[in-house]
Chain A
């Protein structure tokens, strides 16, 4: 394994130089809490991907199997869970695409494109991708 990535780690320094930080340090400030929530959106991403595979599996196994999956989707607690998952996924999209201007440097004719342009391009991409998904699912 590689060494610790966090600069606060003091593996190679005397232990008494380590400042103890409480485990729930991120509850003390709104921006820290938002950071942790942003990182935890990955749980919703993993969950949605896995359950989509199960949905496709049921779909391929035949109408009865798919009907059973659909009736599971219609259970009240499951709908409630999925409304929460949807909210978290939208938060993932918004925060992820908002980071694009920081992560991506685009140059046009030797000049760096302003962050607002990179941001709008990514949000436009989100719009196009969502429209494609809606068209695919609803046009059938």
Chain B
């Protein structure tokens, strides 16, 4: 990987980080904590089952998920690199992290297409 790809990867990292920072805590609080504990009564199925099939919803979800995955890949790559001092494994770590993000994004894309 040439050094010149770094700004592009950083943009994915940055976009995913910003979207996650703005939207994830509220979504996870309601969907995965408040609703399962019975604090709120959601009608997610009735409201959203049709809505998620809309092309705009699929596209938005795909954009969000892939940016979030590349955010993870970029940040985790440098955490391993700096945190665990794995300088000699730089190429391998980059391939594994960005590769996982790409494969998982692709899988999410397929799921969102066949929905």
Instruction: Taking A46-B68, A52-B65 as given, write out 18 further A-B residue pairs in contact, using a Cβ cutoff of 8 Å, ordered by the A residue number.
Output: A1-B94, A2-B3, A4-B87, A39-B78, A48-B20, A49-B24, A56-B111, A57-B111, A60-B52, A62-B49, A66-B44, A66-B49, A86-B33, A92-B20, A92-B21, A133-B26, A137-B31, A140-B46
* A3 contacts B115, C-beta separation under 8 Å: no
Q: What are the 10 closest A-B residue pairs judged by CB atoms, nearest first? A: A140-B47, A46-B72, A49-B68, A2-B3, A130-B26, A42-B75, A129-B22, A133-B26, A82-B32, A39-B79
Q: Is A43 an interface residue (CB 8 A)?
A: yes
Q: How far is the CB of B5 from chain A (nearest CB, A)?
A: 8
* B22 contacts A1, C-beta separation under 8 Å: no
Contacts of A53 in B (CB 8 A): 61, 65, 108, 111-112
* B61 contacts A56, C-beta separation under 8 Å: yes
* B61 contacts A43, C-beta separation under 8 Å: no
Q: How far is the CB of B114 from chain A (nearest CB, A)?
A: 9
Find residues 54-91 in chain A having any chain B CB closer than 8 Å to their own CB.
Answer: 55-57, 59-60, 62-63, 66, 70, 73-74, 78-79, 82-83, 85-86, 89-90
Q: Is B56 an interface residue (CB 8 A)?
A: no
Q: How far is the CB of A128 from chain B (nearest CB, A)?
A: 8
Q: Is A114 an interface residue (CB 8 A)?
A: no
Q: Name B20's contact: one of A26, A45, A62, A78 (CB within 8 Å).
A: A45
Q: Point out residues on B near A: beta carbons under 8 Å.
A: 1-3, 6, 16-18, 20-33, 35-37, 40, 42-49, 52-53, 61, 64-65, 68-69, 71-76, 78-79, 81-85, 87, 90-91, 94, 101, 104, 108, 111-112, 115
Q: Name A1's contact: one of B73, B90, B111 (CB within 8 Å).
A: B90
A74 to B48, CA, bound (A): 20
Q: Name B21's contact: one of A26, A39, A96 (CB within 8 Å).
A: A96
* B79 contacts A40, C-beta separation under 8 Å: yes
Q: Name B82's contact: one of A6, A66, A93, A137 (CB within 8 Å).
A: A6
Q: How far is the CB of A30 from chain B (nearest CB, A)?
A: 15
* B52 contacts A59, C-beta separation under 8 Å: yes
Contacts of B83 in A (CB 8 A): 26, 36, 39
